[in-house]
Amino acid sequence: MQFTAAQIAALIQGTVDGNPDTAVNSFGKIEVATEGQLSFLANPKYEAYIYQTKASIIIVQSNFKPTQPISSCLVRVQDPYSAFAALLRTYEQMQAAQLKGIEQPVHIAATVRVDQDVYVGAFAYIGENASVGKGSKIYNHVSIGRNVIIGERVVLHPHVVIYNDCIIGNDVVIHAGTIIGSDGFGFAPQADGSYQKVPQMGNVVIEDKVEIGANTTIDRATIGSTIIKKGVKLDNLIQIAHNAQIGENTVIAAQTGISGSTQIGKGVMVGGQVGFAGHIKVADGTKITAQSGITKSVTQPNSVLNGTPAQEHQKSLRNLAAIRNLSQLELRIAELEQKLKEIQNK
């Protein structure tokens, strides 16, 4: 696909500084972009590249003032990064729009309702009484269980598995290898030391505009639903246990583990490798740094937490600084003890 500077400016509400007929057909990083590519400058530390790059069109901030000649055509916008992201989304959607119809071989049960403009890739499986909404893309080797509801414009990448009875909202993207609705980790200890499995009879509900990274697992509830609220963004390799709830517009980085029945509020930001104990609540707007351990409920909204067990961020940094000085403190105490002993001897 080819786009001119004028067309790009119209898409992102920008203004053209240069030849509006300049055309591009691909994207490139400003450091290495070549002729015919579109790039952007959002971080000032990369400004030097704008005077060297071969990119045909560059998206820049409205008030950008070059200090050297630039050969590229510029498109000026308020927020170059967001504008470039919007263009990437548009390009992705245009490519995806070309995928329609049902490839073979697939298995689609006779009771499945498939809406218009749906794409189903080869070797996909859709079970009894499931439904797939308008404009959704079901890629190859996806498995959709019985009674599953897939909303509109959903994208399920290869090897995604959706277990029976789960519900997926509109505009959801789930990346390759993710499993939705597997059994929660429920086992009752017995008198003889063995464990009896507790049947997991609930489901998973994923609301609108959620994106889930590759190889993430979200367990079905024991009873009721594990719920991922509207606008949540989950990274790769995340484990969410049964009956957990993730609040609206919360973002969680890779390798985080969330134990059963934990409730995370709205607008929470979670770094990588964070661990949550079960049956706790995390207040709205909480920010948690990487590798923290959340062992109890967080009741204060907009808290910033760090460490294991997690504590207020600034307090944690002071404690870490004190720990780094322990060896010096030990020497100082030894010196003081020696002086005290000398005073006592006198």
8 Å CB contact between 229 and 246: yes
Q: Which residues make beta-bridge pairs with 125?
A: 107, 143
Q: How far apart are CA 287 and CA 208, in angstroms?
A: 23
Catalytic residue among 107, 242, 279, 313: 242
Structure tokens at 57: 């069109």
**Cα 33 to chain centroid, rounded:** 27
DSSP secondary structure code for residue 183 in this structure: P
**Cα 281 to chain centroid, rounded:** 21
Q: How far apart are CA 252 and CA 258, in angstroms?
A: 10
Those residues whose C-beta lies under 8 Å from the C-beta of residue 205, and which sit 6 or more positions away, are 166, 167, 225, 226, 227, 228
Residue type at position 41? L
User: Helix (H) and strand (E) counts for the chain?
Assistant: 5, 40
Those residues whose C-beta lies under 8 Å from the C-beta of residue 241, and which sit 6 or more positions away, are 184, 185, 219, 226, 257, 258, 259, 260, 261, 262, 278
Active site residue 107: no
Phi, psi (rounded to 5 degrees) for 24: -135, 155
Q: How far apart are CA 173 and CA 163, in angstroms?
A: 16
SS (H, E, C) 197-241: ECCCCCEEEECCCCEECCCCEEECCCCCEEEECCCCEECCCCEEC
8 Å CB contact between 284 and 269: no
8 Å CB contact between 162 and 178: no
8 Å CB contact between 73 and 50: no
Residues marked as catalytic: 242
